[in-house]
Amino acid sequence: MEKVGRIISISELNVKVFLYKSDVKTKDILVYKDDTMLHKFEVVELDNNIASCIPFESVKGLKKGFELEALTEGLQIQYSEEILGKVFNSFGELIDGNTIEKEVKRNVYDRNISIEELDISGKILWTGIKVIDFFAPIQKGYKMGLLGGAGVGKTVLIKELINNIYRKQNSNAVFIGVGERSREGKELYDEMKKDDLLDKISMVFGQMGESPSSRSKAVYSGLTLAEYLRDEKEQDVLLFIDNIYRYVQAMSEVSTELRRVPIENGYPTTLLSDISGVQERINSTSRGSITSFQAIYIPADDINDEAVQTILTHLDGQIVLDRKIAEKGLHPAINVFKSSSKSIDPEIIGKRHYDLVTEALKYFSRYNELEQIIAVLGIDELSDNDKNIFYRTRKLRNYFSQPMFVAKDYTGLEGKMVDVDNLLNDVSDILNGAYDDVDEEKFLYRGSLNEE
Amino acid sequence: MGTYIDNLLNDKIKKIKEEDNVFDTGVVVKIKDYIIEVSGLENVSFFEKVTILGKGIGYVNSIGENVVSVAIVRENEPIKVGDEVSASGEQFKAIFSEDALGRIIDLFGEDKLTSKYFKNFKYIDIERPNVPLMDRTAVNRPMLTGIAGIDLIYPIGKGQRQLIIGDKKTGKTQIALDAIVNQRSIALQNKEEMICVYIAVGKTKKEIKTIYNELLKRGALSYTLLVVATNDDKPPVQSLIPFVGVSIAEEYMLHQKKDVLVIIDDLKKHAEVYREISLISNKAPGREAYPSDIFYFHSRLLEKGCQHKNGGSITILPIVETKGGDITDYISTNIISITDGQIVLSQKQFTKGQKPAIDYTVSVSRLGGAVQSKEMKSLGATIRRKLLSYLETKEVYELANTDEMSNELKEKINLGKKIEETLNQPKFSPMSQDEILLRFKAISEDKNL
């Protein structure tokens, strides 16, 4: 191959290349081969005949003067029926020891959807998780955000959703691991393999031990696979991303190294366009749909974080996990006030469900006020009506805790799914006082109330 | 005159052609604390070791178009502008020696107790490539600390990364030391020997000596080494030391298939040192003035902890110091989001006399029962549920009249108190699994759970 330039400066995440020719474009891949490996760099900025590139791996051992060759097709990933059941790294390479025979490759940045193609009328996808189905039901083709600070249960919830929806729906799925723990990624793979569930899912991993370029590219590679399933196989695809915040985080690291001026908290200037570029690709057409579940990490428990808020503007619903609730030992630790979805609308979920949600929220908000009163005066001073609200809400709150299939090792309890009709009946019964003489303890970690 | 220059040139060209041990040289042009800029050094590689002649050593930190930036790790004499710098042709590496067990060592392989260097050693990479995702296997073997509140309630497995977090003087280091010392009794029982690596980042010499003596007294040094950078070491050394310690652990895991326990004390200090270096190197500050890659700096370090498919493992217990009990600050939440769980120590519990001062409501183990024996798992799940339920109820009903409580509620509160008391355990008095099972079964059966 022809040499297109040579390295003139090196820092951890930015390698500058003096170009001999002028036909190099941004997003081209430059490569340098030494004895042990192929070093790859992606061109991100061009200034006359100087290209700024981000390296895909460690730059240790690189020297000034090394000459590079170019792969002008840019970053590509395999794109055929054979992707199902396989595991890729961020750069579209298989890492599970498998090979793909009929190799068709495609650039990972290509696809965008027009308004004409877009389909926005999806049916509700019941998850069997009480608190989600009740407060934030998900429609097919939706983008659902699962938000939470560190260690409040995002990954467990994502895994439970994979368990409940992917298994039940039997549809194709793509899992993208971005900047999360390698251990969890491998465990997910092992569990799926053990349960013979790998045949309909492809996985892409750019985990937290890897370079920022790897972490930011995983999303693009994974999206390309999901688009293939949607457009060419005409499937309803489930897309799980754990964790989309890490994509923004990786972009900030790259941006800092390029010495671009950051906006608040060190986020890149291109925050808005980076996120739009990804989110606009996750959509449904009349031929196939992508329903996505995106875990969103909340840095320093600050939900007003610029990156978190920017991601949220793209989503159709959000489930917010709250540390205060997790501290009470209630899981999933969902904050009912902050969690919602666009389907909380009588025309979509029906009047009964809608009214129950309104009523339940009324109880919860009164309960919060009462808690403060009780802290000063004690329970005995409350009016009978308030006492009812206080005790019933505590029961309702406990009822929304639920044993999860994927947390069995942790809780020692077998997972449970709850049908939506039972769910609505139970909530209605609790609020109407049908269980007033049952101890609140009895509502913890169980499925529907009328079973057992 | 012309021939003189010709001769000089020919001489130089001849040497270069023969590669006659002539390394690149350069001259110091700028000094900014421990980051210097050197002109020349045309042929150095990234992270190459360089020597400032007679005065110190450093490594290549970035290569610019005109100058090379070098981070100084050792300075024997003050470096001046104009000093000569020579390349080495090698990467900057750390030293590994089998003889270092039981000793206190630094980045350069010096035995800090005798100020001598090990005779039998080899150079190892300070940071090795990641263990690939597909080479990792499930974490499912217990790593027992001898502390009931951990082994029973929030267990740690071999290959797990479990954060120990809390304010100053709440017993963070003590938990780590307890875990190290407990490995001795486990090794005596079932011959499963674990290597322990205690990494000190920016600690005082006095603190390190104290820890050494504690371990010495309890016979834990035969399987433990201390890898240290004290607070008067150069910041680049302090920032590299956890990577060195973990690389030593990898030597044991990858080549000898051993189980290794690594303590990193502490990562908050480590983050601060890294922030300092980044700001001095003119990187843009992000949240709380930390550089944007602070998460990656810690994630790639802690991702080295794993259960390898070859049978060996690295368990990492990083320590983070908080202020005012706030575990939601930037660095703490970053690390919590990397580790597989956290043991939170609270000042409030500590002053109430609860030892270890674990706050059970906010502590977590993401692996939970997967790393416990069957008996510990079922007992642990029950005890944990009852304890948490008690702690939550206690808060709400603190002002309620006990006489008017239902019997169920009263029982719950009594049981909770009993569990809390039994979890109290003085330092260096490990409980075996059998003892834990015996004591807590007694409580649970007593009350017919």
Q: Are A88 and A221 in contact (CB under 8 A)?
A: yes
Residue in B44, B63, B332, B338 to test binding to A, most A beta-carbons within 10 Å: B63
Q: Does the structure's ipTM exceed the value 0.90?
A: no
CA–CA dist B185, B191 (Å, integer): 9
Sign of CA dihedral A169, A170, A176, A180: positive
B104 and B84 co-located in one domain: no
B143 and B254 co-located in one domain: yes
Cβ count within 10 A of residue A366: 15
Looking at residue B381, what is its pLDDT? 87
- The verdict on a CB contact (< 8 Å) between B286 and A327 is no
B111 and B58 co-located in one domain: no
B291, B333, B404 member nearest A256 (Cβ): B291
A34 touches chain B (CB under 8 A): no
- The verdict on a CB contact (< 8 Å) between B47 and A60 is yes
Q: Chain B residues with CB inside 8 Å of A267's CB?
A: 286
B256 and B134 co-located in one domain: yes
Strands B259-265 and B194-203: parallel
Map out the domains of chain A as residue ranges: 3-74, 77-342, 349-443
| CATH assignment of the domain containing B298 | 3.40.50.300
Strand residue runs (E) in B6-148 = 25-32, 35-40, 48-52, 56-63, 67-75, 84-91, 93-96, 104-105, 110-111, 116-117, 122-125
Q: Chain A residues with CB inside 8 Å of B341's CB?
A: 151
Looking at residue B17, what is its pLDDT? 66
Q: What is the pLDDT of residues A367-404, one digit of tens each?
A: 999 988 887 777 788 899 999 999 999 999 999 999 99
CA-nearest of A71, A91, A74, A16 to A49 is: A16
Q: Chain A residues with CB inside 8 Å of B63's CB?
A: 9-11, 63-64
Looking at residue A389, what is its pLDDT? 94
Q: Candidates 2.40.10.170, 3.20.20.70, 1.10.1060.10, 3.30.540.10; correct CATH number of A3-74? A: 2.40.10.170
Q: Chain A residues with CB inside 8 Å of B303's CB?
A: 181-182, 207-209
B51 and B139 co-located in one domain: no
Give the count of alpha carbons within 13 A of B375, CB side only. 8
Q: Spell out the SS3 assignment of A329-365.
A: CCCCCECCCCCEECCCCHHHHCHHHHHHHHHHHHHHH
The answer for A 139-178 residues in CB contact with B (under 8 A) is 149-151, 155
Q: What are phi and psi of A84, to 5 degrees?
A: -65, 140
What is the least distance, in Å, from the CA of B338 to any CA of chain A? 7
Asked if the A77-342 domain carries CATH number 3.40.50.300, the reply is: yes
Q: Please report, in tens digits, the pLDDT of each residue of chain A (452 residues total).
A: 789 999 999 988 889 999 998 888 888 899 998 887 889 999 999 999 999 999 988 888 899 999 999 887 778 887 778 888 899 999 888 888 888 777 777 778 766 777 777 777 778 989 999 999 999 999 988 899 999 887 788 888 888 888 888 877 778 899 999 999 999 899 889 988 887 888 889 999 999 999 888 999 999 999 999 998 998 888 889 999 998 999 999 998 888 888 888 888 888 888 999 999 899 889 888 888 899 999 999 988 888 999 999 999 999 999 999 988 887 878 899 999 999 999 999 999 999 999 999 999 999 999 999 988 887 777 788 899 999 999 999 999 999 999 998 888 777 788 899 999 999 999 999 999 999 999 888 899 999 998 75
B368 and B427 co-located in one domain: no
Catalytic residues of A: 154, 180-181
Q: Are B379 and B440 in contact (CB under 8 A)?
A: yes
Q: Is A208 exposed, middle or buried (0-12, 13-18, 19+ CB in 10 A)?
A: buried
Q: What is the pLDDT of residues B364-392, one digit of tens each?
A: 888 878 899 989 998 998 899 889 888 88
The answer for A 401-440 residues in CB contact with B (under 8 A) is 407, 409-413, 439
Q: What is the pLDDT of residues B344-367, one digit of tens each?
A: 999 999 998 899 999 998 898 888
Model pTM greater than 0.80?
A: yes
B140 and B223 co-located in one domain: yes
B231 and B136 co-located in one domain: yes
CA-nearest of A355, A334, A335 to A344 is: A355
Q: Spell out the SS3 assignment of chain A.
A: CCEEEEEEEEECCEEEEEECCCCCCCCCEEEEECCCCEEEEEEEEEECCEEEEEECCCCCCCECCCEEEEECCCCEEECCHHHCCCEEECCCCECCCCCCCCCCEEECCCCCCCCCCECCCCCEECCCCHHHHHHCCEECCCEEEEEECCCCCHHHHHHHHHHHHHHHHCCCEEEEEECCCHHHHHHHHHHHHHCCCHHHEEEEEECCCCCHHHHHHHHHHHHHHHHHHHHCCCCEEEEEEECHHHHHHHHHHHHHHCCCCCCHHHCCCCHHHHHHHHHCCCCCECCCEEEEEEEEECHHHCCCCHHHHHHHCCCCEEEEECHHHHHCCCCCCECCCCCEECCCCHHHHCHHHHHHHHHHHHHHHHHHHHHHHHHHHCHHHCCHHHHHHHHHHHHHHHHCCCCCHHHHHHHCCCCCCCCHHHHHHHHHHHHHCCCCCCCHHHHCCCCCCCCC
CA-nearest of B84, B72, B73, B77 to B29 is: B84
Which residue's entry shows tokens 């979920």? A349
A61, A212, A265 member nearest B286 (Cβ): A265
Q: Chain A residues with CB inside 8 Å of B392's CB?
A: 328-329
Q: Are A108 and A92 in contact (CB under 8 A)?
A: yes
The answer for A 72-91 residues in CB contact with B (under 8 A) is 87
A329 touches chain B (CB under 8 A): yes
Strands B306-307 and B313-322: antiparallel
Q: What are phi and psi of B235, to 5 degrees?
A: -50, -40
Residue B141 annotated to the active site:
no
B385 and B367 co-located in one domain: no
Q: Chain B residues with CB inside 8 Å of A327's CB?
A: 361-362
Residue of B nearest to A440 (CA): B409
A12, A63, A297 member nearest B45 (Cβ): A63
Asked whether residue B449 carries a pLDDT value surpassing 50, the answer given is no
Which among B372, B389, B417 is the end of a domain?
B372
B65 and B120 co-located in one domain: no
Residue A70 has which token pair?
């170019």
- Cβ neighbours for B175, distance < 8 A, ≥ 6 positions apart: B145, B147, B150, B164, B317, B343, B345, B356
How far is C-alpha B434 from the geometric centre of its chain's CA atoms?
Answer: 30
CA–CA dist B147, B426 (Å, integer): 9
SS3 B391: helix
| CATH architecture for the domain at A349-443 | Orthogonal Bundle (1.10)
Which among B330, B351, B372 is the end of a domain?
B372
SS3 B112: coil
CA-nearest of A17, A37, A47, A20 to A29 is: A17
Q: Are A147 and A303 in contact (CB under 8 A)?
A: yes
Which among B91, B117, B144 is the end of a domain?
B91
Domain limits for position B67: 2-91
B24 and B136 co-located in one domain: no
What is the least distance, in Å, from the CA of B328 to any CA of chain A? 5
Number of domains in chain B: 3
